[in-house]
């Protein structure tokens, strides 16, 4: 299993991944390398479980020597690596202020807080955990950790039991969840919950999955126009097998890897949750979702879903410019972009479309008359586009220069 590394420091990455020389890793474990505090803690936590006993022992000793003030700063910081936050949550003898900061830090892993909630003897801390209902719903093991702790206060128990009853024991429909979201001012998310089936080939998505997806809804029903989808395309909402779903998930992850670099574990988790929705619900999310949801669904294998992203009223010209350069999306998306009069007035967009090997040949050729002569010459020599596009670019460039 690959350990997720938060730091961008190449030295930190080399040490944690094990590619740094053994003396360098040992020096890091002893706290002798001149690293920023956040990087140092991430390195030490990673090395504390190293297979090399000498390195692991040195890292643990260095961690034990860290002062409580430095650890409190780390517990409060959003930039602190989740592995460090998890390590601190497992230190049951740490100062109360550190545990309180960890509970309030949105980046502290849920699993680590469940460990803390099971072990702490501090009742008010359990109350603080129980206050975050969204976290309890997302990770129900926290509820059980609170209820299983003999040191819980009556208030912590009340809140945990109420959340458990409300979300996990009552046969609570989407309408009830929608009412709660609407009461919180999340109208668009509420509408999505009311109409979405939120099902997959393997059965219903969990409440916590649905809740996370709803957080990425920003467009209300009144703001969308689905007239772009003719009724004859409804057959594209066909049932997807588990194999098709798995292939679609892999397609999106690989596409993001190719176009943007390594995909984080958190991002992979969100991709999986979204792709487990059925086709109709993914289309709704594509039309109503935020920028993050759009960036995932634009790579969907289903052409109705990725086309719905283009019809999302919140999509920006900058997003379209980025999409027009992607080599891992549907040719249908690129064709639709070219047909949009507003986007076709943007030179960076039509230039990207002309250069993109995924753009349908008739579409690319139709764009060429609007491409500048210098760029036409480059296209006529590019091996990334089709022969037909190269030839037409060569003809147009020659005509303009009188050759």
pLDDT of residue 242: 84
- Percent of the chain residues topping a pLDDT of 70: 93
pLDDT of residue 59: 94
pLDDT of residue 169: 58
pLDDT of residue 85: 95
pLDDT of residue 171: 41
Among 62-66, 265-269, 302-306, 387-391, the least confident range: 265-269
- Is the model's pLDDT at 25 over the cut of 50? yes
pLDDT of residue 156: 94
Dist CA 252 CA 254 (whole Å): 6
Here the tokens at position 305 are: 């879903």
pLDDT of residue 258: 84
161 with 272, same domain: the answer is no
Here the tokens at position 168 are: 């996990």
| Reported pTM | 0.57
Half-sphere exposure of residue 367, counting CA atoms within 13 Å on the CB side?
35
Q: Kindly provide the residue ranges of all beta strands, DSSP E only, lying in 136-270, ordered along the sequence.
A: 199-200, 203-204
306 with 351, same domain: the answer is no
Mean pLDDT of the 229-255 span: 83
Among candidate residues 274, 294, 315, the one where a domain is terminated: 315
Q: What angle do CA 183, 185, 186 make, to 5 degrees?
A: 105
82 with 96, same domain: the answer is yes
Total residue length of the chain: 403
Domain that holds residue 58: 10-169
202 with 298, same domain: the answer is yes
pLDDT of residue 65: 94
Average pLDDT score over the chain = 89
pLDDT of residue 197: 65
95 with 212, same domain: the answer is no
Phi and psi based region of residue 198 (left: phi greater than 0; alpha: psi -120 to 50; beta: remaining): left
143 with 19, same domain: the answer is yes
Among candidate residues 281, 315, 349, the one where a domain is terminated: 315
Among candidate residues 286, 315, 344, the one where a domain is terminated: 315
- Is the model's pLDDT at 382 over the cut of 70? yes
pLDDT digits (tens, 9 = 90+) for 82-126: 999 999 999 988 999 999 999 999 999 999 999 999 999 999 999
Mean pLDDT of the 288-311 span: 94
pLDDT digits (tens, 9 = 90+) for 126-155: 999 999 988 998 888 999 999 999 999 999
User: Measured on CA atoms in the order 238, 242, 244, 248, is the torsion positive or negative?
Assistant: positive
Are the beta carbons of 146 and 172 closer than 8 angstroms? no
pLDDT of residue 30: 96
Residue 289 lies in a domain: yes
Helix, strand, or coil (residue 217): strand
pLDDT band (50, 70, 90) for residue 172:
low
Return the higher-pLDDT residue of 185 and 104: 104
């Amino acid at each position: 299993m690959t350990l997720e590394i938060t730091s961008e420091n190449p030295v930190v990455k080399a040490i944690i991944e094990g590619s740094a020389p053994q003396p360098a890793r040992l020096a890091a474990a002893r706290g002798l390398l001149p690293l920023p505090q956040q990087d140092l803690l991430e390195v030490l936590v990673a090395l504390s479980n190293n297979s090399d006993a000498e390195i692991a022992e040195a890292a643990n000793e260095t961690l034990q020597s860290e002062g409580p003030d430095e650890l409190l700063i780390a517990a409060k910081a959003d930039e602190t690596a989740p592995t460090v936050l998890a390590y601190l949550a497992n230190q049951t003898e740490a100062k109360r202020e550190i545990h309180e900061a960890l509970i309030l830090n949105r980046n502290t892993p849920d699993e680590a807080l469940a460990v803390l909630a099971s072990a702490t003897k501090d009742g008010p801390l359990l109350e603080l955990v129980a206050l975050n209902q969204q976290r309890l719903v997302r990770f129900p093991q926290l509820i059980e950790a609170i209820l299983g702790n003999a040191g819980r206060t009556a208030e912590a128990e009340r809140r945990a039991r109420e959340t458990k009853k409300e979300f996990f024991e009552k046969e609570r429909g989407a309408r009830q969840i929608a009412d709660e979201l609407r009461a919180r001012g999340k109208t668009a998310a509420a509408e999505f919950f009311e109409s979405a089936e939120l099902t997959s080939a393997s059965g219903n998505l969990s409440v916590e999955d649905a809740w996370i997806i709803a957080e990425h809804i920003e467009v209300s029903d009144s703001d969308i126009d689905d007239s772009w989808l003719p009724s004859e395309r409804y057959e594209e909402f066909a049932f997807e097998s588990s194999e098709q779903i798995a292939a679609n998930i892999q397609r999106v992850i690989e596409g993001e890897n190719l176009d943007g670099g390594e995909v984080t574990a958190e991002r992979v988790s969100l991709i999986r949750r979204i792709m487990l929705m059925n086709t109709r619900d993914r289309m709704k999310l594509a039309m109503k979702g935020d920028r993050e949801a759009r960036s995932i669904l634009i790579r969907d294998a289903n052409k109705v879903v990725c086309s719905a992203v283009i019809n999302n009223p919140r999509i920006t010209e900058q997003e379209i410019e980025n999409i027009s350069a992607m080599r891992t999306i549907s040719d249908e998306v690129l064709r639709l972009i070219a047909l949009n009069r507003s986007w076709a007035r943007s030179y960076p967009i039509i230039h990207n479309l002309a250069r993109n090997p995924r753009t349908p040949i008739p579409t690319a050729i139709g764009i060429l008359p609007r491409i500048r002569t210098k760029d036409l010459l480059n296209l006529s020599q590019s091996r990334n586009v089709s022969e037909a596009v190269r030839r037409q670019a060569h003809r147009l460039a020659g005509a303009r220069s009188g050759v």
